[in-house]
Amino acid sequence: MENLSEVKNYPFIQGKNLSLCAVNIDNIKLYASWDNNPEARKYARILFPKTPEEYKKYMEKSQEGVPREIGFELWHNEDKKPIGFVGFNFIHWPNRMGNIGLIIGEPAYWKKNLGFEATCLILEYAFNELNLNKVNADMYDVNVASWKICEKIGMKREVTLEKHVYVKGKYTNAYEYRIFKEEWDELRKKFDFK
């Protein structure tokens, strides 16, 4: 049995290799390190330095009413440590639409299909628990890993915003992918993520 005096994570959704856990105020320094990591922030387009205090403030904000954003810590089941975030950075409840945010903050865990698993888990949550109708994901052209995940799942590139974001001295395109509940109901059968 797990040592109860040393609970390190709060799993909420269990996947094959990853779990989505409630965010943990003890890990704010780690969270800040992901968002400041030069490699990771390049793709997430984080242009300003982040301090642990910002995460603390965010977590301390009183939560009345249904939240407009929901974030999870991505926990690596085997290595027993948090490696990133996944969640919705915006939910529009009357439209039943959510916008996915995902970052694997530890580059050592890139290229292992974990982003794909995390996205499947969050889609499952969106459609089966939150009762959403449509999920969007937007990213920039340079963030190849992210839009490859969307392609692999079978999400559709609904919008291309041309020369939308300034990366390393050049304007590049941004994409918006989407998936509807009825599309996911079909696509999910193909994947093994739980």
Partner 1 sequence: MNKEENNNKELVYVPFIEGENVALAPTNIDHIHLYAKWNNNPKARHYARNMIPHTKENLKKWFEPRAGLTEHVGFEIWHKKDKVPIGTCGFGRINWIDRNANIYMSIGEPEYWNKNLGTEASRLLIDYGFKELNFFKIFAGVFEPNIRSWSVAEKDGFVLEGVEEKAIYIDGEYVDARRYGLFKEDWLKRQEEK
DSSP state of 26: G
Radius of gyration of the chain (CA): 17
Q: Which is nearer to partner 1, 3 or 62 (CB)?
A: 62
In whole angstroms, how close is the CB of 126 to partner 1 at the nearest point? 11
Binding mask 169-188 for partner 1 (x = CB under 8 A): --------------------
Compute the CA torsion angle 178, 184, 190, 194 (nearest 10 deg).
Answer: 100
Tell me how many residues contact partner 1 (CB under 8 A): 15
In whole angstroms, how close is the CB of 27 to partner 1 at the nearest point? 21
**Which span sits near partner 1 by CB under 8 A: 44-52, 58-66, 176-184, 186-194?**
58-66
Work out whether 62 is an interface residue with partner 1 (CB under 8 A). yes
Cβ neighbourhood burial of 17 (10 Å; 0-12, 13-18, 19+): middle
Cα–chain center distance at 184: 17
Member of 129, 162, 186, 192 binding partner 1 (CB under 8 A): 129
Q: Is 127 helix (H, G, I), strand (E, B) or coil?
A: helix
Contacting positions for partner 1 (CB under 8 A): 61-68, 93-96, 129-131
